[in-house]
Structure formats: structure tokens, C-alpha cells
Amino acid sequence: MCSDHQTNKRNFNSPVFYLIAIVLGIMTGFSDIVPLQNFGLMISEIFIKVFKCISLPIIALSIIVTLCNYSADGAMRTIWRRTITYTLTTTVIAAAVSCALYLLISPSNVNIISETAEVPVSTHGGYFQHLINLIPSNIFSPFLEHQVLGVLLVGMVIGFAIRYIHDDDARKTIANFFKGAHGIFLVITTWVVAIIPIGLYGFITATVIQLREGMEIKGIGEYLSIVVLANVVQGFIVLPLWLRMHKIKPFQAMRGMLPALSIAFFSKSSAGTLPMTMETAERNLGVSPRTSRFVLPLCTSINMNGCAAFIFTTVIYLMQNYGMDTSIGTMFTWIFIATIAAIGNAGVPMGCFFLSASLLASMNVPITLLGIILPFYSIIDMIETSLNVWSDACVAKIVDVQAQQDAEIAMATLTATITHPKQPQSQISIHNV
């Protein structure tokens, strides 16, 4: 029974159903049957509400659970700290690269003429007032008011606070509670992803209706070029330079990781590729099992270079299309948000697309344009997943090299202490006299 259910879900998520959804959406949009068009628009609206419902809780819970996974062992604490530091650094760089490319290419709008009035265009009180508004008046207000940054702040504070609970039983209990809640929302997310062709039908229908009303899609190609180029620059320039800084041959490492990268490309799941990633990193890169079996599972959950680039570019592009503020200050803020949101990605197919849609929906930004992007997202997801796994391997290799260097230094210090023990100060003084 269970296997049959899994097979049916996998078949429903096959490219055939995506193609059927696209064709039906196009036919519905071009038809003059008003009830049928309203049905497609209703499907689109339902999925937007679902995204709004689960987006902020899953992001907050992902951050809390990540911060709960803190090891008390000295050596493992160092490995954990380095992994988090390198993950955040590379993810921020990926988002910054996409920002630079966005400013360089400057994609044109799709010129959407409907729904624009529904989107708030400006904020009140200036930048400092915006910072003040990030502090919630109560713990639930960011979720009720759909304040993304407020949710991120609450999640980070709770996650750090759990680590400092002195009672071990209480700390484990509350950590397990949040892990269980996180698991619930991940299950709900898989359900939504499993029926995403239905949502695609609604989005395509809404998009075609707007196309008939005068929408132009010139800027979509420029948008897609930014996403792909950001992944290419990160994977073939930034990460190799980072490896070179640590005296690791980058393209030899990339060649060694090809088996895992190939599986990541076609499976579009960094979590599903994890066993092959660990085996390949240990066999071909020489990463110790102790390091790979701690670092790589952690990276699979939080190291999402490609996802950060996609989230940043997608959110800024849709905000631009709907007349919202996309100034340098806003882009800088979204580099941070895209980084934190990417950490909340589940490492499953379409995770980045789902997160982007959720963030946009939580800000009441219409996500109709995602219906145009979605047919191209399969290729984007392949590239992003490969980049994520490649970045995971880079982090694991560098952390392992540094752990070995720490061990060698500790051993050398111990050997020197045994070979040349320090004489007591009193003996040195008598000898000198």
C-alpha cells in the first residue's frame, strides 16, 4: 500500500503531468469560457493562500532546529562553528553575486497591468522606522502580520535561547518539540510539492489571461540569464578560488565529485544525493568519515548557494515588476533575507521555488509571474542542486583540512612538551647562579 502510494505520488509529479497542466492552463486562459477561467484563477488563489499559511512557520522552525544542533564536544564544536561560518559566507556571496549581476543586466519589466494596485508600493517612516518595526510587540505578531524579517529574528532568538537552557531534560524536550513541529511542516510541504502541477495549471491560466490583456514577457529571458550566470560564477569562480586559498586543487576536487554532482543534477535533490555525496567525498577527496558524516548532513540542510541566488533574483524581479521598492538598500536587505531563507530550505526538489513563492505570498506580492518561470525551473533546479552539492563538498574538504592541521599542531605541541619539558623557575634560577 505504502509503495503504491509513493509510486502514484512520484508519477503525479512526473514531467507528463507538468506538460498536461501547462497545456490545460494555456487552453483555459485562451478560452472564452468564463466559469473555466474562474476555476483556474481560483486554483491559483488557493495555492497562494497555502503558501502564505505554511511559509513563515517552516522558515522559523528551520532556523530554530538548525541552531539547536550544537555539539558540546570541543573538537566537534570547532567543526560546527567553521561549518556554519563557511556556509553563511558562501551563501551570502552567492546572493551578492546575483545582486551584482542583477544590477549589471538590469532586467526589464514584464509590464503587468493588473493586480498592481493591490501591492503596497512604499513604506512609512524611513529606514530607521523600518528597523524599529522589525522588533515585534509580541511573539506571534510577525506571523500574523507576515513580517518576514520579524519571523527570522524570532526564530534566531528562540534557537539561541534553547542552547542556553541549563536543564538538560528541558532543553532536549523543547528541542524535540520544535524538531517535531518542523517535521510536520516538511510533510505538509511535500504534499504541496506533490500536487504542484495543479497549482501550475492555475498559475498558467492566470498568466495567459494577463498575456491577453497586454502583458509583455521580454524581461523573463534576462531574469533567467541572471539566475544561471549567478550559479555559474559561484560554482566555477568563487568556490574554486576559495579552495585555492586553502591550497586545495579545485578542478581536481570537482572531478572527484562528478559522480555525486551527476546524481544531484538529475535527481534535483541534495538530500537524496547525500549518501553518494558522503561516499564520494570520503573516497575521492580524502575527507575523513568523522568530518563528512557530521558536516555534509548539516550542509545539506543549510548550505544552499544556488537557492539564495534564486530567491534573491526572483523576489527582487517580481517586486520590481509590481512597482515595489528595489533600491540598493532593499537589495542589501534581501541579500540577508535570501541567505537566511535558503538555510530554511529542505533540500528537496523545487524547494527554492517553493520558498520564493512563499516569501512573495507572505508580502502580498502577486506570484502570477512564477507561472511563466515554473516551466524553466526544472533546468534551473538541476543547476542549483549541483551547485549546492559542490558547495557542500567544498565546505567539508576545507573543514577537514583545517581539522587535520589542528590535530597536527596539537600533536606537535604535545611532542615538544614531552621532549623538552619546561624546567621549574626555581631550578633555572639556581642553575644561573
Listed by start position, the domains of the chain span: 15-109+136-408
Locate 1 and state its grid cell: 500500500
Q: Give the per-residue pLDDT at 163.
A: 85
CA dihedral sign of residues 305, 306, 311, 317: positive
Picking from 398, 400, 159, 176, the residue whose alpha carbon sits closest to that of residue 293 is 400
Locate 217 and state its grid cell: 514577457
Within 10 Å of residue 319's Cβ, how many Cβ atoms?
Answer: 19
- 417 Cβ partners below 8 Å, 6+ apart? none
Within 10 Å of residue 414's Cβ, how many Cβ atoms?
Answer: 10
- 259 Cβ partners below 8 Å, 6+ apart? 276, 280, 284
Note whether 274 and 297 are within 8 A (CB): yes
Hey, what long-range contacts does 253-257 have (CB within 8 A, 24 or more apart)? 253/285, 253/393, 253/394, 253/397, 254/390, 256/280, 256/284, 256/285, 257/281, 257/284, 257/285, 257/389, 257/390, 257/393
Give me the amino acid identity at 373.
Answer: I
User: What's the pTM?
Assistant: 0.68
Note whether 103 and 330 are within 8 A (CB): no
Picking from 313, 332, 310, the residue whose alpha carbon sits closest to that of residue 321 is 313
Q: Give the per-residue pLDDT at 390.
A: 96
Give me the amino acid identity at 135.
Answer: I
Within 10 Å of residue 391's Cβ, how many Cβ atoms?
Answer: 26
Q: In whole angstroms, what is the distance from residue 25 CA to residue 22 CA?
A: 5
Q: Give the per-residue pLDDT at 11.
A: 47
Q: In whole angstroms, what is the distance from residue 265 CA to residue 208 CA?
A: 30
Q: Give the per-residue pLDDT at 135.
A: 79
Phi and psi torsions of 403, nearest 5°: -65, -40
Note whether 151 and 59 are within 8 A (CB): yes
DSSP letter at 117 equals G
Note whether 321 and 425 are within 8 A (CB): no
Which CATH superfamily does the domain covering 15-109+136-408 fall into?
Sodium:dicarboxylate symporter (1.10.3860.10)
Locate 7 and state its grid cell: 509510486
Give the 3-state secondary structure percentages of the chain, helix then strand then coil, rounded to 5.
80, 0, 20
Note whether 281 and 393 are within 8 A (CB): yes
Q: Identify the residue whose cell numbers are 553575486.
A: 97
Give me the amino acid identity at 244.
Answer: R
In angstroms, the Cα distances linking 94 to 116, 244, 320, 425 are 30, 18, 20, 55
pLDDT tens for the 433 residues of the chain, in order: 444 444 444 445 566 887 888 889 889 888 888 888 899 889 888 887 787 777 678 767 877 887 776 555 566 678 888 988 999 999 999 999 999 999 999 998 876 544 433 433 333 444 355 456 667 788 888 887 766 667 778 888 898 899 888 888 998 899 999 989 988 887 887 787 778 788 878 878 887 887 676 555 667 889 999 999 999 999 999 999 999 999 999 999 999 998 889 878 876 777 777 778 888 899 899 999 888 877 887 787 777 899 999 999 999 999 998 888 888 999 999 999 899 888 766 555 577 887 788 778 777 788 778 877 877 887 888 899 899 999 999 999 999 999 888 877 877 777 777 776 655 554 444 444 4
For the chain, report the end-to-end CA distance as a whole number of angstroms: 89
